[in-house]
Amino acid sequence: MKIIQLTGLGLFLMGFTIFLASFFLADYKLTEDGLKTQLDDQQSELFIKHGSTLIDRSLNSSLDFVDQLNSVFESANQAQLESYAINDGEIEQILQNTSGDPVIFSISVLDKVFSGSDEYSAYKVKSFNDYGGWLDGREFSSKDDLRNQIASTVDNIRRYGVVNQFGFDRYRIKDLKYSLTKTSSTGPISDNPSLFIWLTYVLCIIGAAMYILPKKQLDGPPGIKNNRIFFKVMHSRGWLGVLTGTFLISFYIVLYFYPEYMTPWIITVDPLSEFLKGSEAGRFFLYGFIYTLCILVMGIRMIIKYRHSKYQMVRTASVMFFQTSFAFLLPEILLRLNKPYFDFKNIWPLDYDFFFDNELNGLIESGGLGIFMIGWGIGLTIVGVPLFVHLFGKRWYCSWVCGCGGLAETLGDPYRQLSDKSLKSWKVERWMIHSVLVFAIFMTAAVLYTYWTGDSNFLGLVDSYKIREVYGAWIGAGFAGVVGTGFYPLMGNRVWCRFGCPLAAYIGLIQKFKSRFRITTNGGQCISCGNCSTYCEMGIDVRWYAQRGQNIIRSSCVGCGVCSSVCPRGVLNLEVKSEEGRYNKPVLIGNDSIKVEA
């Protein structure tokens, strides 16, 4: 059976190597036809004017191609600013035509400075009225004071007026770099993406299955087998674990911030995307596909490893089902039916952009189904979460439904022993996770204020658009993605759940004070082996509670039940308090056959 495992490992490494190599298997050639599929006529003309040398030119590196795109966008924007923006000389002319003591500014002076009949002069007058109309009739102590106010207005026109209207703003550039790179991609992957699905993903799946499904594993005695886990370089912060973490971190950084560099990987899954939703794949389709595959493959490993526990098998099957159906397939099928993309299991504040104006408007415009989706999301947050947590504890979502928890429990299971159990870590955890919750609530209040009033200045403190951008980049992408998954081999598998997830903080508060769920202990049976604390992914020192016979009511506990599964004495049980005040162990919970190999 060792031969089967080694063969499986070889096939997995072969598929993974092809996957990595495919990153570089593309050339890039931008044509006018390809350009016009992504830009309107005006922007296409502007791009061609400043990027004619890039058209029909073949480049063999995405780095070079994107660098050329950046140069074109910069050149085009600079040219538009020189034509449409008010320059320093024109500011001085405005000042020369303004006099008095004190200095009183009149907006009519613009008609003298910009007296031409061309479109540029007309735009300069109009834009100054739009952005600086409030200066009309204002008194200033000196011309220097007026100069500073005019310069500030002109700077806003350059950044938010000229570039947005006549050039390429930074959000548009970000999207265009990705779409133009994908459109321009040529080579073996673009010619035959289905072949590379087989050479990468299918090969990796077959290899992984051969590695985790040897006959001796299935025929051997049931029980948790963590033999020599702290001596394995993959699972004990060794060089292989660090290398794996580095790859995961790099993958997330490129995915969230530089998707234009991973277009070969995205093109590979185009056939699957066409099949499911009737259109080409995007970066988040690729992400969802890989995410789901990891949960399914590693979920099978989990079921085999924990097959002595009905609770663990059913719980693992649950996260596999919800990720595959609700998080991946259903939203894509909705798009194929021209309905809004919607994950019915994603809950605010984890789904932090649920109340963003573009999301709400999109749902409202889609009719009855969209209104139902809004009601579903609000109802689940306000009614569903408190009710289910009261009845079943935090585990109903964090261990049975959530995709983040599903990936942590499956792909991240080999790293659960790396979670820091120190008191210092617990203190940091409480401050961080509740700070993120407060941040999410404040951001949501700001965006709803803007949605209802149209004013982006919330309480005179922050710009709602800026705060949502900061949250999305640093929390939604950086913390939840880059750190949350990339740090599995470094800090354990629940870094995001412990330190950052605002929904976990919200659910945890309800669990601590209002839930019927507890992990109960029998201190007289505890032999202080430490298995429970070692393998608690949430950093709880379970043994401390078990030795004292105290129920574990920590708000961070996700009720995964692994502490009970690895306990050789049956000290720990996941229980729900009955109406009479007693704790009753559900049928699924408990070990049918306890055998732990340390």
Classify residue 504 as left (phi > 0), alpha (psi -120 to 50) or beta.
alpha
Residue 55, phi then psi, degrees to nearest 5: -65, 130
**Residue whose entry in the numeric block shows the structure tokens 């019927």:** 516
**What end-to-end distance do the CA atoms of the chain give, in Å?**
23
- What order of strands is seen across the sheet that includes strand 517-521? 517-521, 572-577, 583-584
DSSP-based three-state secondary structure for 306: coil
Give the position of tokens 């089902």. 321
Q: Are the C-beta atoms of residues 531 and 505 closer than 8 Å to each other?
A: no
DSSP string, 520-574: EE-GGG-----HHHHT-TT---HHHHHHHT--B--TT-----HHHHH-TT--EEE
- CA triplet 210, 214, 220: central angle to 5 degrees? 160
* DSSP state letter for 30: B
Residue type, 108: S
Nearest to 394 by CA among 518, 302, 279: 518
Tokens for 510?
A: 């309800």
In this prediction, residue 220 carries a pLDDT of: 58
Residue found by looking up tokens 């009519």 in the block: 108
Q: Is the peptide bond before 349 cis (omega within 30 degrees of 0)?
A: yes
| Cβ atoms of residues 100 and 143 within 8 Å | no
pLDDT value of position 215: 54
Tokens of 581: 């005040």
The helix (run of H) or strand (run of E) holding residue 204 is: helix 203-212
pLDDT of 141 reads 84
Closest CA to 386 of 262, 506, 484: 506
Residue 524 is predicted with a pLDDT of 79
Peptide bond into 264 cis (omega under 30): no
Q: In terms of C-beta density within 10 A (0-12 exposed, 13-18 middle, 19 or more buried), how is residue 434 classed?
A: middle
b/e sequence 540-557, b meaning 16+ C-beta within 10 Å: bbbbebbeeeeebebbbb
Fold of the domain built from segment(s) 515-584: Alpha-Beta Plaits (3.30.70)
pLDDT at 589: 47
For position 587, what pLDDT does the model report?
43
Rounded distance, CA 322 to CA 318, Å? 6
One-letter amino acid at 216 equals: K
DSSP for 334-383, please give it: HHHTT-----TT--TTTSTTTTSHHHHHHHHHT-HHHHHHHHHHHHIIII
For the beta carbon of residue 404, count every other beta carbon within 10 angstroms.
24
Helix (H) or strand (E) holding 185: strand 185-186
* Residue found by looking up tokens 């031969």 in the block: 3
The pLDDT, as a whole number, for residue 322 is: 97
Amino acid at 362: G
User: What are the per-10-residue average pLDDT scores of the chain (598 residues)?
Assistant: 87 96 93 92 93 92 94 94 91 86 86 85 91 87 88 90 91 93 94 95 94 66 71 91 95 94 96 94 95 96 87 94 96 94 95 93 93 96 95 92 95 93 93 96 94 86 90 93 93 95 95 88 86 92 91 89 88 72 48 40
- The count of residues in the chain is 598
Listed by start position, the domains of the chain span: 27-186, 515-584
